[in-house]
Structure 1
Amino acid sequence: MYDLLVVGAGPYGLSLASHAAAAGLDVRVLGRPMATWLGHMPRGTLLDSPPWATNLSDPEGRWRLDVFRAFRGAALPDTGPLPLEVFTEYGLWFARNAVPPPDERTVTEVSPCRGGFEARTEDGETLATRTVALAVGLPPFAELPPALRGLPSALVSHSSDHAGLGRFRDRDVTVLGAGQSALETAALLAEQGSRVRLLARADRLRWNTAPLPGPRPWWHTAVAPHSALGRGWRNGFHAGRPDLFRRLPARTRARLAAGTGGPAGAWWLRERVERTVETLLGRELLSAREVPGGLRLETAGRQGGRQVLETGHLIAATGFRALRARLGLVSPGLRALLATGAGGAPEVGLDFESSYPGLFLAGPVTAADFGPAMRSVHGASFTADTLVRGVRRRLREGPAGWQAGAGRRGEMPDGARP
Structure 2
Amino acid sequence: MYDLLVVGAGPYGLSIASHAAAAGLRLKVFGRPMASWRDHMPRGMFLKSEPWASNLSSPQGRWTLERYCAGQGVSARHGEPIPVEMFAAYGLWFARNAVPEVDERTVTRVSPCPGGFETVTEDGEVLHARTVALAVGVMPFVEVPGALRELDPALVSHSSHHSALDRFRGGDVTVIGGGQAALETAALLAEQGTHTRVLARAARLTWNDVPPPWERPWWRSARSPHSGLGCGWRNWFYAERPGLFHRLPETTRARIAGTALGPAGAWWVRDRVEGSVELLLGQEVSAARAVAGGVRLDVRDRAGTVRPLETEHVIAATGFTATRERLELLSEELRGGLAAGADGAPEIGRDFESSHPGLFMAGLVTASGYGPAMRFVHGATYTAGALVRGVRRRLDKGTPSVGAVRVPESRDGRGAVDAVRR
Give me the TM-score of the superposition, normalised by structure 1. Answer: 0.95
Task: Tell me how far 1:149 sits from its aligned partner.
Answer: 1.1
Match of 2:84 in 1: 84
Match of 2:164 in 1: 164
> What CA distance in whole angstroms lies between the structure 2 residues aligned with 1:193 and 1:165?
11
Which secondary structure does the structure 1 equivalent of 2:102 belong to? coil
Match of 2:362 in 1: 362
The answer to whether the 8 A contact 2:159-2:315 is kept is yes
The answer to whether the 8 A contact 1:352-1:390 is kept is yes
The answer to whether the 8 A contact 2:79-2:210 is kept is no
Task: Report the AA paired with residue 8 of structure 2.
Answer: G
> What CA distance in whole angstroms lies between the structure 2 residues aligned with 1:126 and 1:35?
23
Match of 2:300 in 1: 300
The answer to whether the 8 A contact 1:39-1:162 is kept is yes
> What CA distance in whole angstroms lies between the structure 1 residues aligned with 2:115 and 2:59?
28
Match of 2:258 in 1: 258
> What CA distance in whole angstroms lies between the structure 2 residues aligned with 1:307 and 1:46?
35
Match of 2:36 in 1: 36
Which secondary structure does the structure 1 equivalent of 2:296 belong to? strand
> What CA distance in whole angstroms lies between the structure 2 residues aligned with 1:275 and 1:58?
43
Which secondary structure does the structure 1 equivalent of 2:237 belong to? helix
Match of 1:144 in 2: 144
> What CA distance in whole angstroms lies between the structure 2 residues aligned with 1:381 and 1:316?
30
Match of 1:68 in 2: 68
Which secondary structure does the structure 1 equivalent of 2:202 belong to? coil
Inter-CA distance 214–356: structure 2 relative to 1 (3 Å threshold): closer
- 2:20 is the alignment partner of 1:20: yes
Which secondary structure does the structure 1 equivalent of 2:350 belong to? coil
The answer to whether the 8 A contact 1:54-1:378 is kept is yes
> What CA distance in whole angstroms lies between the structure 1 residues aligned with 2:405 and 2:226?
46
> What CA distance in whole angstroms lies between the structure 2 residues aligned with 1:162 and 1:103?
24
Task: Tell me how far 1:192 sits from its aligned partner.
Answer: 0.8
> What CA distance in whole angstroms lies between the structure 2 residues aligned with 1:96 and 1:287?
48
> What CA distance in whole angstroms lies between the structure 1 residues aligned with 2:84 and 2:222?
32
Structure 2 unmatched ranges of 5 or more: 408-422
> What CA distance in whole angstroms lies between the structure 2 residues aligned with 1:95 and 1:384?
14
The answer to whether the 8 A contact 1:53-1:378 is kept is yes
Task: Report the AA paired with residue 358 of structure 2.
Answer: G
Q: Which moved more, 1:224-233 or 1:364-373?
A: 224-233
Which secondary structure does the structure 1 equivalent of 2:287 belong to? strand
Task: Report the AA paired with residue 402 of structure 1.
Answer: P
- 2:121 is the alignment partner of 1:121: yes
> What CA distance in whole angstroms lies between the structure 2 residues aligned with 1:359 and 1:201?
38
Write the deviation string for residues 300-346 of structure 1: whole angstroms up to 9, x where unpaired. Answer: 11123222110000000011100111001111111001100121001
Match of 1:288 in 2: 288
Inter-CA distance 214–160: structure 2 relative to 1 (3 Å threshold): closer
Query: In percent, how many aligned pairs have the same letter?
Result: 64
Match of 1:196 in 2: 196
Task: Tell me how far 1:275 sits from its aligned partner.
Answer: 3.0
Match of 1:322 in 2: 322
> What CA distance in whole angstroms lies between the structure 2 residues aligned with 1:350 and 1:311?
48
2:400 aligned residue (390, 399, 402): 402
Task: Tell me how far 1:256 sits from its aligned partner.
Answer: 0.7
Q: Which moved more, 1:13-22 or 1:228-237?
A: 228-237
Task: Tell me how far 1:120 sits from its aligned partner.
Answer: 0.5
Which secondary structure does the structure 2 equivalent of 1:395 belong to? helix
> What CA distance in whole angstroms lies between the structure 1 residues aligned with 2:33 and 2:215?
37
Map 1:316-355 onto structure 2 (within 5 A). 316-355=316-355
Which secondary structure does the structure 2 equivalent of 1:110 belong to? strand
> What CA distance in whole angstroms lies between the structure 2 residues aligned with 1:214 and 1:254?
32
The answer to whether the 8 A contact 2:283-2:300 is kept is yes
Match of 1:102 in 2: 102
Match of 2:413 in 1: none
The answer to whether the 8 A contact 2:173-2:311 is kept is yes
> What CA distance in whole angstroms lies between the structure 2 residues aligned with 1:80 and 1:244?
31
Match of 1:372 in 2: 372
Task: Tell me how far 1:184 sits from its aligned partner.
Answer: 0.5
> What CA distance in whole angstroms lies between the structure 2 residues aligned with 1:320 and 1:193?
28
Which secondary structure does the structure 1 equivalent of 2:66 belong to? helix
The answer to whether the 8 A contact 1:354-1:360 is kept is yes
Task: Tell me how far 1:62 sits from its aligned partner.
Answer: 1.0
Write the deviation string for residues 283-313 of structure 1: whole angstroms up to 9, x where unpaired. Answer: 1211011101100001111123222110000
Task: Tell me how far 1:213 sits from its aligned partner.
Answer: 2.8
Structure 1 unmatched ranges of 5 or more: none
Task: Tell me how far 1:413 sits from its aligned partner.
Answer: 5.5
Write the deviation string for residues 356-395 of structure 1: whole angstroms up to 9, x where unpaired. Answer: 0111000111001000000000000100000000000110
Task: Report the AA paired with residue 300 of structure 1.
Answer: R
- 2:245 is the alignment partner of 1:245: yes
> What CA distance in whole angstroms lies between the structure 2 residues aligned with 1:412 and 1:224?
52
